[in-house]
Amino acid sequence: MYYHFYKKVRGFAMALVKSQDIAEEVTADLFVNLWKSRARLIEVENINLYVYVATRNLAVKHLEKNNRSSEFSLEELDADKLISGYQDPEETLLNGEMIRHLHDAIQSLPPRCRVIYKMVREDGLKYKEIATILNISVKTIDAQMAIATRRISQSIRFVFPERTVK
């Protein structure tokens, strides 16, 4: 369980608390709590949702304890993981540039919009799960994803007008 969730939990905690030290504390506390309540985890229907909600709750507690304001961030995208298959060098260079620009476009999104976009696109969570985790409505998730998609598409079309963004 630790190996499966560690990177996701730490990344989500970091997005919420914007501090490596606090994100590490939140992550460690989460796994300690999961270990202590391991007998009850069998009853959990959606372990992903459970872990995200528990992480969010611990992050809020740590922020309150440390009296800090929360900010959001995204981890760096790994361009090598996004480029697959053989391409000629020019195509590889163009794709690398597009991926870097995509990363910049995502980074320029408003904080909540970035977190929601990451949870949908990178973590594969459903809108309803994200709404529960972030304690917001599904319509808000839908609206934020529309904003993110529109802004990212516009940004990429501006720099790469000859290429199509899906």
Answer whether residue 166 is part of any domain: no
Convert the pLDDT of each residue in 43-94 to its tens digit.
777 888 888 888 888 888 888 777 544 333 333 334 443 334 444 555 555 5
Tokens of 24: 């590490």
Name the amino acid, one letter, at 71: E
Tell me if the pTM is above 0.75. no
Same domain flag for 92 and 144? yes
Q: What is the pLDDT of residues 142-155, one digit of tens each?
A: 999 999 999 988 88
Host domain of residue 27? 2-66
In a domain, 71, yes or no: no
**From CA 119, how far away is CA 131, in angstroms rounded?**
11
Report d(CA 114, CA 16) in Å as an integer: 11
Question: Is residue 120 domain-shared with residue 52, that is, in the same domain?
Answer: no
d(CA 77, CA 96): 11
List, in sequence order, every beta strand (DSSP E) within 67-132. none
